[in-house]
Amino acid sequence: MAKPSRLPDPKEDFSAWYVEVVKQAGMAEHGLAKGTMVIKPHGYAVWEHIQRALDDRFKATGHENLYFPMLFPESLLNKEAEHVEGFSPQVAVVTHGGGQKLEEPLVIRPTSEAVIWNTYANWIQSYRDLPLLYNQWCNIVRWEMRTRLFLRTSEFLWQEGHTAHASEAEAWEEAVRMQGVYREVAEDVLAIPVLPGRKSAQERFPGAVETLTIEGMMRDAKALQCGTSHFLGQNFAKAYDVQFLNDKGEQEYAWATSWGFTTRMVGAAIMTHGDERGLKLPPAVAPVQVAIVPIYRADDERSRVLEAAAKIRDGLAGNGIRVKVDDRDQHRPGFKFSEWELKGVPIRLEIGPKDVDSDQVVVATRFDGSKEQVPAPDIVMGMAARLDHAQRALFEDAISFRDDNMHEADSYDSLREGIAAEGGFWVGAWCGEAACENRVNKDTSATIRLLPLEPEDPGGPLPRVRENRNRAGYLGKGLLTAG
């Protein structure tokens, strides 16, 4: 690994800081084909922890995994009107295979509603076949002009859930449940506080009746969409003719949801918790939770110090903690300290010959930069609590930042001037018309990030949400609007 150089100050140039920290911390780099990304081991390991956290929750809520083909005939995409309009401009098209021109071009999935609902037509005959609660882990290609590592790339990794139900209420409940799962993983695992709500009609997924979202605030006080769950009504069932015999003996179109969470969330974790020294990874997803840096000058010191380090490593590993001893001889301790800070490792232990003599260890905590001396025998048993504390502290700090940058506007002028002067999230009333939404965007470059579900009854039944659709909205500058 190349020697880390000074990072840009995130408070001055957040975008430059992000680009540089992703690179220097070894999270990802650009691929050869336009807009593609190599996810490097330190970045991919974060994604693996996210995957495990989501997958466990999907299974606990009754879902099973399966896999649909990545390639399907272009014509299949054309059956749902809004869906084709939304995705056709973004697809990659395979025209040749095995040295031959194909009779009909194939598209690479930009999302899988089309291929899945086309197949569900064969799987669903009766209400007894429902619900189908399926998910797949896969790659997606959407042609993008302006790309940014993790946040927006032509190819990305995600999971996409696709469920079919016998009633509107059950499908709505599922969409709300999965929004809840996403919120839990964002907050409890990635330590990213998010606001749950639903999208305006213009911001909805193409083909959805309602798009539920969770929105996080990054350290530039801009919003990032952190996972969406769509209530699709009967739109896809009608487009792909998926009817079933209901329990009254009548033919009915099936009710649908879909929901996705992507590698973008690795970027969200970087942008929520970093500082001028690099990443601050939440312990729940940190590939290395504890880095042990041995400090020695002479050879006789080396073996004593490494022996003490190995003992602590074994104790921590035995308690299920992800720990690494950095015994590289070609680098000095100071270099290693900086590198582990850059890589966002939550806890660093420093052990030198004097520490071995006095049976203690220096514990350096990444989230607040503190250092303390701790008796070596207390290190192993106390580590889980230290990591829990670090996880909570990152979450609470992000909440404080978010709340400090969230405002209410009581008039259009205060909204317009406030966004221009302070940025951040703004809560304001909305007339409910696209014209007003477009005017806000034109005047301020802000977009409506979400509309609340019923405040007194989050995730409540659909009809009540519909009645109150236009009551009020959170407004925040979108990352990509101003990026």
Q: Which is nearer to a second copy, 115 or 312 (CB)?
A: 115
Q: Which is nearer to a second copy, 155 or 174 (CB)?
A: 155
Q: Which is nearer to a second copy, 145 or 421 (CB)?
A: 145
| Shortest reach from residue 105's CB to a second copy, in Å | 8
Give burial (CB, 10 Å; 0-12/13-18/19+) of 129.
middle
Q: Which residues would be at the binding site for a second copy (CB under 8 A)?
A: 29, 31-33, 36-41, 43-45, 47-48, 64-73, 76, 88-99, 105-106, 108, 115, 118-119, 128, 134, 138-139, 141, 143-145, 154-155, 157, 328, 330
Q: How far apart are CA 104 and CA 72, in angstroms?
A: 10
- Report CA dihedral (20, 22, 26, 29) to the nearest 10 degrees: -90
Q: How far apart are CA 388 and CA 393, in angstroms?
A: 9
| Shortest reach from residue 73's CB to a second copy, in Å | 6
Instruction: List, as one string, the DSSP characters of 293-351.
Output: EE--SSHHHHHHHHHHHHHHHHHHHHTT--EEE---TTS-HHHHHHHHHHTT-SEEEEE
Q: Which is nearer to a second copy, 128 or 464 (CB)?
A: 128
Element (H, E) at 407: strand 406-408
- Contact predicate 454/465, CB 8 Å: yes
| Shortest reach from residue 170's CB to a second copy, in Å | 19
Q: Which is nearer to a second copy, 106 or 453 (CB)?
A: 106
Q: Which two tokens stand for residue 309?
A: 């380090």
Q: Which two tokens stand for residue 27?
A: 């999270």
Instruction: List, as one string, the DSSP characters of 98-117.
Output: TTEEEEEEEEEPSSSHHHHH
| Shortest reach from residue 224's CB to a second copy, in Å | 21
- Contact predicate 339/4, CB 8 Å: yes
| Shortest reach from residue 392's CB to a second copy, in Å | 28
Q: Which is nearer to a second copy, 76 or 427 (CB)?
A: 76
| Shortest reach from residue 215's CB to a second copy, in Å | 26
